[in-house]
Amino acid sequence: MDSIKTAFAGLELKSPVIIGSNSQTANISKLKEFEAAGAGAAVLKSLFEESITGAIAASDTDIHPEAYEYLAGYIGEKILSDYLQLIKEAKAACTMPIIASIACHSDGKWEEFATRIEEAGADALELNIMSICASRNYQPGEFEKMHQDIVANVAARIRIPLIVKIGSNLSNPVALCDKLYANGAKAVVLFNRFYPTDIDIDKLCFTAGNPLTSPSDLSLPMRWAGLLSSAVPNLPIAVSGGVDSWKGVVKAILSGASAVEVASPIIRDGASWITHTNEGLAAWQKSKGYMNPAEYKGKLNASDPDHADKLMRTQFIKYFSAV
């Protein structure tokens, strides 16, 4: 019997569609709606490092140091406790895998947080490592070493699968992901989306750019999924960014991904997008004679020299020039 079931990070998913972290995944009724529509899993709204440190920094620093330390601990504990309660409620309401998420940019207390997230019942933990390296004192390899340290420290403390969502601002994502795998990562997500910036030229100030992705954003993670799935075949991959229909899901799987993480199409079109996407994926599979995604996963990745040539190509003369 045809099936769109897939495996990702040791989790069995009824669909390759994972709902990525966004404001709606902090809502239990929305999570139930996503599951009913056919989602394979959901990533809860992230616990942000900057939210914790920002809330602590905003507290009164003029009080006695010991009192401030107590207040800082209380604020951090309150934010974490609320998040643990969200995990428990999500697990009680849904049967699909619930993936907790920590968005961080430094090696901090994530080991302790990860342990308590596991105890709360999360099926997996996604570390969304969001950082821009722009120091003129940067030493080659420091940025990548930070990723490895965070992953190694957290992986040593938990038994649930550790998923790592990385940025595209890396010199060699394949080499880094190979090291993350060696340090305990059970899957990676390509790629996280940085806060989009724009400039208001009338007010002469920075403004928020469009936070939603478009189909053109699929090209970058699809390319790297094709390269990474060939080089590190035992590391499951999810593609994030630019998947706006069942066709995008097919492209991601053909390039080597096991699943996709989506948020923008859910925000735009609601839970019905999941149902339509699953139906389109199933119909395409049947038309090609495939029984499940595993039969065509990585069919167009870099393990084939011709595909590798196209994935590695950095200029377009051969394909688009009339000369």
Query: Domains in the chain, start-ordered, CATH in brackets?
Result: 6-320 (3.20.20.70)
| CA–CA distance, 221 with 168 (Å, rounded to integer) | 8
CB atoms within 10 A of CB 201: 7
pLDDT at site 312: 85
pLDDT at site 298: 97
Q: What is the dihedral of CA 51, 21, 97, 95, to 10 degrees?
A: 100
Dihedral sign of CA atoms 67, 69, 73, 75 in order: positive
Contact 293, 246 (CB under 8 A): no
pLDDT at site 139: 83
| CA–CA distance, 283 with 305 (Å, rounded to integer) | 30
Mean pLDDT by 10 residues, the chain (323 residues): 88 98 97 98 84 51 44 63 96 98 76 91 94 79 90 95 94 95 98 86 90 90 97 97 97 98 96 98 97 97 88 66 47
pLDDT at site 48: 65
| CA–CA distance, 290 with 296 (Å, rounded to integer) | 7
Task: Output the pTM of the full model.
Answer: 0.89
pLDDT at site 104: 79
Give, as one character, the DSSP assignment of residue 107.
Answer: S
